[in-house]
């Protein structure tokens, strides 16, 4: 048999990360672009597909797709059209390609999906990797984060992503539907809210949603003593300085109330004997977890419900893929073999 390589993938709305048993770690922005015409294609050196930040930067000459946003993988009830399915497939193939896995290896992949991913979403992922991974298991994303950090007992994971904030209660086994909550106040909705607040406060300022996201990522905070956020935006084409400190605070804080409500629901419906332990084991991950003071703000909001202790994940960008890889490496061989044989049967039947 060829060399066996395990991979963990975190397929996110804004970023996709991979970690491999050969020691590679890569992250790209989840954008896929297709040149609009032959001039655009020439501009991109004859390439048919452009990925990540390069695609976002070159969007004026590309059909740009952010395939995970609003996909069935991320949103229950959503349907994926052929264009989106192709972009998801291209994105996954690309991320596996940049991980430089030795040619001819047998690849076993663990892919994190939102805690409540639908059957359609799972089918979309399986179809997308059918030709490039030999055996695939889809696992709950928050579970992968916690598993990677050895936090699987009586722990609550909060994964603040771009499209959704996923919460998951862990107690040593695979989480079930009742252990999970998802809400849509996350990075993208914070960007929308900040854009709305800026438009309201400074109607003369010109900006794009990408500029707003960059402002947020630079100054994000829910701390009362945050640094001033002074940004430059053009007014009728001329750059001017604007103070958006309070607006950034307000937009970022929208994350706190729904997250605390979901946390409290998950705690209140847990075995009373273990509720205390769970409260003191709240793991905060995802790109949104780097908002300054977020852990503390959640702890303060939890006080009226009995308090809690929040631990912020050290490397949120890699935690999902690293955890999925660790889970893949610990998975007994028969699970992978079972999946392979199911697939060979399915393939034989078609």
Ligand X SMILES: Nc1ncnc2c1ncn2[C@@H]1O[C@H](COP(=O)(O)OP(=O)(O)OP(=O)(O)O)[C@@H](O)[C@H]1O
Which residues of this chain interact with ligand X, rule CB under 6 A? 12-15, 68, 74, 161-164, 186-188, 213, 216-217, 220, 286-288, 290-291
Q: Which is nearer to ligand X, 155 or 220 (CB)?
A: 220
Return the range that interacts with Mg ion (CB under 5 A); candidates 10-18, 62-70, 78-86, 303-311.
Answer: 10-18
Report what 144 binds from Mg ion, ligand X, none; CB cut-off 5-8 Å by kind. none
What is the bridge-based pairing of β-strands 155-160 and 135-140? unpaired
Q: Which is nearer to ligand X, 204 or 217 (CB)?
A: 217
CB of 113 to ligand X, least distance (A): 9
67 forms part of the interface with Mg ion (CB under 5 A): no
CB of 45 to Mg ion, least distance (A): 31
CB of 53 to ligand X, least distance (A): 13
Binding-site size, Mg ion (CB under 5 A): 2
CB of 256 to ligand X, least distance (A): 13
Q: What letter would DSSP give residue 136?
A: E
CA dist 97 and 132 (Å) reads 9
Report what 33 binds from ligand X, Mg ion, none; CB cut-off 5-8 Å by kind. none
CA angle 221, 226, 232 (to 5 degrees): 80
Q: Which is nearer to Mg ion, 35 or 114 (CB)?
A: 114
Report what 221 binds from Mg ion, ligand X, none; CB cut-off 5-8 Å by kind. none
Report what 287 binds from ligand X, Mg ion, none; CB cut-off 5-8 Å by kind. ligand X
| Exposed / middle / buried, residue 45 (Cβ in 10 Å: 0-12, 13-18, 19+) | exposed
From residue 125, alpha-carbon distances to 5, 12, 119, 189 in Å are 19, 12, 10, 25
Encode 114-149: b = buried (16+ Cβ within 10 Å), e = exposed: bbbbbebbbebbeebbeebbbbbbbbbbbbbbbbbb
CA dist 277 and 288 (Å) reads 24
What is the bridge-based pairing of β-strands 165-170 and 155-160? antiparallel
12 forms part of the interface with Mg ion (CB under 5 A): yes
Dihedrals phi, psi of 87, to nearest 5 degrees: -65, -40
Q: Which is nearer to ligand X, 35 or 286 (CB)?
A: 286
Contact assessment for residue 182 and residue 114, using Cβ atoms and an 8 Å cutoff = yes
Report what 186 binds from Mg ion, ligand X, none; CB cut-off 5-8 Å by kind. ligand X
HSE-up of residue 198 (Cα within 13 Å, Cβ side): 31
161 forms part of the interface with Mg ion (CB under 5 A): yes
114 forms part of the interface with Mg ion (CB under 5 A): no
Which residues would be at the binding site for Mg ion (CB under 5 A)?
12, 161
């Amino acid at each position: 048999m060829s060399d066996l390589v395990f991979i963990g993938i975190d397929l996110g709305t804004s970023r996709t990360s991979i970690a491999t048993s050969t020691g590679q770690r890569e992250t790209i922005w989840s954008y896929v672009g297709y040149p609009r015409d032959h001039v655009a294609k020439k501009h991109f050196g004859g390439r048919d597909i452009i990925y990540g930040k390069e695609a976002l930067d070159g969007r004026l000459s590309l059909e740009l797709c952010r395939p995970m946003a609003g996909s069935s993988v991320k949103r229950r009830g959503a349907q994926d059209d052929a264009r989106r399915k192709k972009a998801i497939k291209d994105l996954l193939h690309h991320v596996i390609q940049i991980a430089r896995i030795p040619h001819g290896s047998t690849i076993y992949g663990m892919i994190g999906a939102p805690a409540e991913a639908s059957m359609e979403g799972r089918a979309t992922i399986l179809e997308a990797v059918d030709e490039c991974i030999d055996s695939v298991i889809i696992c709950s994303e928050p579970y992968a984060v916690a598993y990677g950090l050895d936090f699987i007992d009586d722990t609550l994971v909060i994964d603040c992503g771009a499209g959704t904030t996923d919460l998951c209660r862990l107690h040593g086994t695979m989480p079930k539907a009742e252990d999970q909550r998802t809400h849509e106040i996350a990075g993208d909705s914070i960007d929308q809210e900040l854009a709305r607040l800026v438009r309201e406060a400074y109607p003369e300022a010109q900006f794009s949603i990408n500029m707003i996201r960059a402002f947020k990522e630079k100054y994000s905070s829910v701390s009362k003593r945050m640094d001033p956020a002074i940004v430059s935006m053009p007014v009728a084409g001329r750059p001017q300085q604007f103070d958006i400190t309070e607006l950034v605070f307000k937009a970022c804080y929208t994350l706190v109330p729904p997250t605390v409500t979901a946390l409290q629901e998950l705690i209140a419906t847990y075995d009373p004997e273990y509720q205390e332990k769970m409260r003191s084991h709240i793991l905060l991950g995802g790109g949104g977890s780097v908002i300054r003071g977020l852990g503390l703000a959640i702890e303060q909001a939890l006080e009226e419900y009995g308090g809690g202790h929040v631990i912020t994940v050290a490397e949120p960008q890699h935690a999902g893929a690293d955890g999925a890889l660790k889970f893949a490496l610990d998975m007994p061989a028969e699970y992978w073999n079972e999946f392979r044989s199911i697939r060979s049967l399915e393939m034989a039947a078609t």
